Structure formats: structure tokens, C-alpha cells
Amino acid sequence: MDVIVKKSRIHGKGVFTTRDFEKGEIVLKWDTSSELTKEQVKKLAKKDRDFVTYLNGKYILMKSPEKYVNHSCEANTTAKNQCDIARRYIKKSEEITSDYSEESVPSLNMKCNCGSKSCRGVINLIDK
């Protein structure tokens, strides 16, 4: 494992690197084996629904550690082909962040706490 989950400054738990990553490197590969139907998603508790992502027409329940990747308006990774790719050089023990508004998270509406200069304050994305 090149990452660990621990308490985050941004929100709850976060994912942190245990080594340096070059720009363009795959930091995390998602486990997308937990598929859900729309009905199953509706039945989930609100806190679990935050871990559902919409990929290629399917609802996927994200697993650890990828489900703990926090949002940042100045994210250091970008989601591509079910991986989180380094957007820039990432130092060892930096928190990995991704821009949720670039991803298809169903019914997302949360306050942002990332603290970056370009923070949008709120992340809003409903059934894109």
C-alpha cells in the first residue's frame, strides 16, 4: 500500500501518501466491485450515501481507502479510469484530495472545508 487512512484536517478521515508520487502516477486504484441498484442507494443511510459514486451507468459503493479521499477545490489528484491520478508532484504523507465536482457523486451537497485559496465554500452537484 502506498497510502494510509488517518484523521484528516479537512474532514473526518483522510487518505495520506506513504511515499512520493510523480505527476501522472496512479496513487489509488478503486475497488469498484460493490455495485448497487438505484433502489439500494435510496435505502442507504445518508452517511453511507456519501460513499456512492456513479460510474458508467452504475452506482458503486466505494471501499476503503478510496472512500476516504476528501474533496479539495485545489485537489492534488484527478479521477480517471477508476483511479486517482497525481495532478502534480505529491510529497510523502500529504493528504490526497480530489475535486468531487468533477466526479459523479449522486446528490452531493456539502460545505467545503479544504482551506485552499480558491475554495468555492460549497460543493453542489445533484444527479448530473
Q: Of 27 and 73, which CB lies nearer to Zn ion in the complex structure? A: 73
The length of the chain in residues reads 128
CB of 111 to Zn ion, least distance (A): 9
The answer to whether 112 contacts Zn ion (rule: CB under 5 A) is yes
* Count of other CB atoms within 10 angstroms of residue 62: 19
Strands, sheet with 52-55, edge to edge from the N-terminal-most edge strand: 35-36, 58-61, 52-55
Out of 27, 73, 75, 105, the residue judged to bind Zn ion by CB under 5 A: 73
The answer to whether 86 contacts Zn ion (rule: CB under 5 A) is no
- The residues that bridge with 109 in the sheet, in sequence order, are 124
**Which positions touch Zn ion (CB under 5 A)?**
73, 112, 114, 119
